[in-house]
Structure 1
Amino acid sequence: MAFGKSKNRRRQDAAQTKEAVTGAVRTHGPGLLKAILLTGLTIALVWGGIELRRWALSSPTFLLKETTFSGLQRATPGELLKLSGLTVGQNLWALDVGALERAMSTHPWVREVYVRRHFPASVSVEVVEHVPAALGVLGDLYLLDEDGEPFKRLQPGDTLDLPLVTGVDREDYIADEAETRERYRQAIAVAHAYAATQPGKRERLSEVRMVAEGMVLVLADGMEVRMGEGETDAKLQRLSRVREELRSRGLSAEVIHLENRARPGWVAVKLSSPVSERNGASQ
């Protein structure tokens, strides 16, 4: 009888185990199947991605055939290609766009550069160049852009007719670049304002000299205009009226003072000596 009870117990245990397994499959089966499918799909995608990348990097379809440039005035395509190492036959997928932009940006005329890939086989390069606005004296002569940045040392081949900005030396620039650029920007703004009053370039501006009292304009004929600080437009209007009056009287000025802070509307003029007097001759 004991043997029969043991046999029945084993049958009951087996039935319970089967029922437990069936319940577990019924409860967890869908989730387990989903996990298996997702794992298989992930493996397939990874493998597919690896194979796709291998094909893209080796396919002749994506070999560079043409590079186009826009925005060039001073820099040349050849110079930028040489700096970047970009050549026909390189794979577009393998190009490091950021590295290409950084390399081309080392050209002295280049202010900003944007490289774009156009699949399957071309690249475009959009360049924003520095626009020279004046010359700065920092030991050597440097080209200054509109923001007052000295972006390039003046070379013999740089044929530019630009006003000179003086009064800042190299030590000043090294000590505080931001402050120096701001002063340069102010000087360039005054130069532009003056040029706007001389549309025919009849009396060209030669130099903007920055001094403790403000700014001094030096015209091509050597005449100095002491501008002081502030009210640039109003002062330039007074300057135009004074010069017109002097011309009408057949006179010329050596120095015109517009920097009187106590009486802003006042203008003082130091007349030029007659030619005969300057040469020491009697009339």
Structure 2
Amino acid sequence: MRKKLNIKNRSVSNRKRREPFFKRHRRFFAFTASTLGLTALFITIIFGGFLLYTQVVSSPRLMLKTINVTGLERVDEDSLLKLADLRRGRNILAISASRTEAAIESNPYVKEARVVKVLPGTVNVRIVERRPVVLVNMDGLFIMDEGGVLFKRYATEDRLDIPVVTGLEGRKDKWKFTTGPALLKLVRVLEDAERFNLTNISEINADPVHGFSVVTLKEGIRLDLGSGDFVEKFEALEKIIAARGGKLGGIESVDLNNDRGVVVRFARSVNERGGTT
């Protein structure tokens, strides 16, 4: 006789026992717990850092007490410090050296600024100013520095007693590559000259065809120089003046750009007395 299979009992015995809920989702809970822990740690660090920052920036030990400024000649120190927002009592950590330098260099007379912070409360500022050499009349009156840069439109408060460059009206497009570099060469020669120094020049004229000519301040003599070889031309002029005993009286103009040599023109009164032309 066949045995009856107990199917009901077999199905019960083969069914897997279900694990508890937390055990089945332990990875999820572990991940959630670690995430919450890291978040709490991050918030604690941020909050602690904020508290530390507020204490540091309000610390009287880090307040700016000393400001040393060097290199100033024309620029007023108080106006420069105001422009840079450098003031005593400000927290030194809140001062950006690069931003302060940029603010100082926004003054047209400042060529370069260097700011160094020295903890706990000192800021050193070194200034390199632009040196005005001539006024350039070119679609307005501009100040040119020793590097040939037109850095500022002239204003009455500048109070500059330097030569004026004329003849450049409407020639602004030629300034950068032709007129500007040639003028800078002439200015540097005049700065090194003794008798015809830049301080003894009232006007520099730039002619597109004949080049440069200068007018002396005291004697009113016009010197025609052309567009180059300025050193050699002034040396030739010095020889002529030495031959006249170092005297400039009676000379109206000197053409140093003539293929025939140096041509000296005398005033009419000198010619009438038998002077040489």
TM-score, normalisation: structure 1: 0.70
Q: State the shift of 1:252 in Å.
A: 5.3
Q: Does 1:149 align with 2:150?
A: yes
The 8 Å contact of residues 149 and 181 in structure 1, kept in 2 or not, is answered as no
Residue 273 of structure 1 is matched in structure 2 by 267
Cα distance in 1 between the residues matched to 2:83 and 2:268? 58
Q: Which amino acid aligns with 1:270?
A: V
Q: Which amino acid aligns with 2:91?
A: N
Number of aligned residue pairs: 262
1:219 maps to which of 212, 216, 219: 216
Which is further off, 149-158 or 60-69? 149-158
Alpha-carbon spacing, 1:249–1:9, altered in 2? closer, same or farther (3 Å): closer
The equivalences for 1:120-199 within 5 A come to 120-137=120-137, 142-146=142-146, 147-151=148-152, 153=154, 155=156, 158=159, 160=161, 162-169=162-169, 172-173=171-172, 176=173, 179=175, 183-198=179-194
Q: State the shift of 1:202 in Å.
A: 11
Q: Which amino acid aligns with 1:113?
A: A
Alpha-carbon spacing, 1:278–1:152, altered in 2? closer, same or farther (3 Å): farther
The equivalences for 1:195-274 within 5 A come to 195-198=191-194, 204-212=200-208, 213-220=210-217, 221-247=219-245, 253-260=251-258, 263=259, 266-273=260-267
Cα offsets for 1:27-85 (capped at 9, x unmatched):
xx8x9998787656544433332222222232223222222111111213212123334
Q: Which amino acid aligns with 2:51?
A: E
The 8 Å contact of residues 163 and 198 in structure 2, kept in 1 or not, is answered as no
Cα distance in 2 between the residues matched to 1:76 and 1:138? 28
What is the SS of the residue equivalent to 1:10?
Answer: coil
Cα distance in 2 between the residues matched to 1:278 and 1:157? 45
Q: State the shift of 1:244 in Å.
A: 2.7
Q: Which amino acid aligns with 2:212?
A: M
Which is further off, 56-65 or 32-41? 32-41
Identical aligned residues as a percent: 23
Alpha-carbon spacing, 1:199–1:49, altered in 2? closer, same or farther (3 Å): farther
Cα offsets for 1:206-265 (capped at 9, x unmatched):
3221112211122231222211122223323323233333447998542222324xx4xx
Alpha-carbon spacing, 1:96–1:259, altered in 2? closer, same or farther (3 Å): same
The 8 Å contact of residues 62 and 121 in structure 1, kept in 2 or not, is answered as yes
Alpha-carbon spacing, 1:140–1:5, altered in 2? closer, same or farther (3 Å): closer
Q: Which amino acid aligns with 1:58?
A: S
Alpha-carbon spacing, 1:195–1:114, altered in 2? closer, same or farther (3 Å): closer
